[in-house]
């Protein structure tokens, strides 16, 4: 999740564990430890792109790191807070809870978290929240700002209640996201069953900043199918699928390189590959594609959010992440709102894969 959400969750945990003894300092320390696991980004400039994929969200997002950090830092914190009568056990519990909540919440999005690293490299991902969801974090942030102004001893019980209310709303929203995912997943599964589609696996995740419009990616072997469904649509409402050829032949040309292995692990195999003028273009289909309209009549161009170009013959950093820019944000979100309520006309069209530099947009198969 984003840094604001993690800082807010850390501050809330600090208030629950140490608020009575530290007051607003518990909020500050909680916010600091809430973003601690994400500070591994400070190391990324010292690595190439391939190592960045392996480093970010691995060590600092593991259960091992949480335990070691709690044991190593708690004596220092207990000494720092000696006048406030905070024991080593309380300090360790504070660190463990804040870091543990950070890792747990990061499991809610498509990135996933290798909780059992280094013993197990698989990422745990529930795919029930987008990377940034203001409806999830805003109630908690508001409650924390409110309780920060309650500083007297008589107001301490009220501080705790306000904090619990903020966390409670977050938990209810998370529960609704899981229920929404279950509902739309049933609809996606029913549509594939009706079409008698044989597939290896599939995943569902919400579109940006909401839990109403969901996106499914289906692994059919040589193809990946992508479809959208709103929680307001009936289960029998047919899904319109966009078919992305996976590009196994293009990927095979570099499959033995460290870069391709890193992409395969990082994307959990949800990649597509295309031959590129300087090597191989790779895209991660777990993340939503950025749609644009108007390039051609009745067409919609899909620009993948996370892509790379692998140049196996290049010296130095052979894997370069592509930067995606999309100026029509208002139009995108306006059309997304229409799609949420079931209006497909402003959202769909004949699909093309765009954003592959040096190549014309690729026409994709569309299944109604």
Strands 299-304 and 289-293: antiparallel
Residue 27 clears pLDDT 80, i.e. is over it: yes
pLDDT per residue as tens digits for the range 148-198: 998 888 888 899 999 999 999 999 999 999 999 999 999 999 999 999 999
Strands 307-310 and 213-219: unpaired
pLDDT band, very low/low/confident/very high, at 326 (cuts 50, 70, 90): low
pLDDT per residue as tens digits for the range 28-51: 999 999 999 999 888 888 889 998
Q: Which residues neighbour 337 within 8 Å (Cβ) at sequence distance 6 or greater?
A: none
Pair of tokens at residue 221: 């072997």
pLDDT, mean of residues 76-88: 96
Least Cα distance to 169 among 192, 212, 210, 139 occurs for 139
pLDDT, mean of residues 84-99: 97
pLDDT, mean of residues 321-335: 80
| pLDDT confidence of residue 323 | 77
pLDDT, mean of residues 335-350: 92
Residue 314 clears pLDDT 90, i.e. is over it: no
Greater pLDDT, 328 or 228: 228
Mean pLDDT of the chain: 93
pLDDT, mean of residues 119-144: 95
pLDDT, mean of residues 217-225: 97
pLDDT, mean of residues 293-310: 88
pLDDT per residue as tens digits for the range 274-286: 998 888 999 999 9
Measured CA to CA, the distance from residue 84 to residue 47 in angstroms comes to: 42
| pLDDT confidence of residue 292 | 87
Q: In sequence order, what E strands does the chain have?
A: 201-206, 213-219, 223-230, 241-245, 271-276, 279-284, 289-293, 299-304, 307-310, 319-322, 350-354, 362-363, 365-367
pLDDT band, very low/low/confident/very high, at 363 (cuts 50, 70, 90): very high
* Cα distances (angstroms) measured from residue 356 to each of 33, 46, 271, 312, 362: 40, 28, 14, 17, 9
pLDDT, mean of residues 75-93: 96
| pLDDT confidence of residue 327 | 60
Output Rg (C-alpha) for the chain, integer angstroms. Answer: 23
* Cα distances (angstroms) measured from residue 223 to each of 58, 100, 126, 256, 282: 29, 37, 23, 21, 15
Greater pLDDT, 5 or 293: 5
| pLDDT confidence of residue 127 | 97
């Amino acid at each position: 999740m984003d840094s604001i959400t993690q800082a807010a969750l850390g501050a809330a945990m600090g208030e629950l564990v140490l608020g009575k003894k530290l007051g607003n300092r518990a909020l500050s320390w909680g916010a600091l430890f809430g973003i601690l696991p994400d500070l591994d980004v400070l190391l990324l400039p010292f690595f190439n792109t391939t190592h960045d994929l392996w480093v970010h969200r691995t060590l600092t997002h593991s259960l091992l790191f949480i335990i070691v950090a709690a044991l190593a830092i708690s004596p220092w914190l207990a000494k720092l807070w000696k006048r406030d009568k905070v024991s080593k056990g309380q300090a360790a519990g504070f660190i463990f809870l804040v870091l543990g909540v950070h890792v747990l919440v990061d499991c809610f999005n498509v990135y996933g978290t290798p909780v059992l690293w280094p013993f197990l490299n698989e990422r745990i991902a529930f795919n029930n929240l987008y990377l940034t969801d203001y409806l999830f974090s805003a109630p908690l942030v508001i409650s924390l700002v409110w309780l920060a102004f309650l500083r007297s001893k008589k107001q301490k019980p009220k501080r705790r209640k306000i904090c619990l209310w903020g966390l409670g709303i977050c938990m209810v929203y998370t529960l609704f996201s899981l229920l929404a995912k279950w509902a739309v997943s049933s609809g996606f599964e029913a549509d594939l069953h009706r079409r008698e589609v044989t597939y290896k696996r599939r995943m569902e995740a919400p579109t940006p900043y909401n839990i109403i419009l969901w996106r499914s990616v289906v692994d059919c072997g040589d193809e990946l199918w992508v479809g959208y469904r709103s929680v307001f649509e009936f289960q029998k409402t047919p899904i319109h699928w966009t078919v992305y050829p996976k590009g196994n032949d293009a990927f095979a040309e570099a499959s033995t390189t460290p870069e391709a292995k890193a992409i395969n692990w990082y994307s959990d195999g949800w990649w597509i590959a295309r031959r590129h003028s300087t090597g191989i273009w790779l895209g991660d289909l777990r993340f939503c594609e950025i749609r644009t309209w108007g390039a051609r009549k009745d067409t919609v161009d899909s620009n993948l959010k996370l892509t790379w170009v692998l140049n196996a013959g290049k010296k130095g950093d052979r894997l370069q992440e592509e930067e995606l820019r999309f100026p029509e944000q208002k139009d995108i979100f306006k059309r997304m709102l229409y799609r949420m309520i079931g209006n497909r006309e402003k959202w769909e069209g004949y699909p093309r894969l765009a954003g592959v530099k040096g190549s014309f947009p690729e026409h994709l198969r569309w299944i109604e």
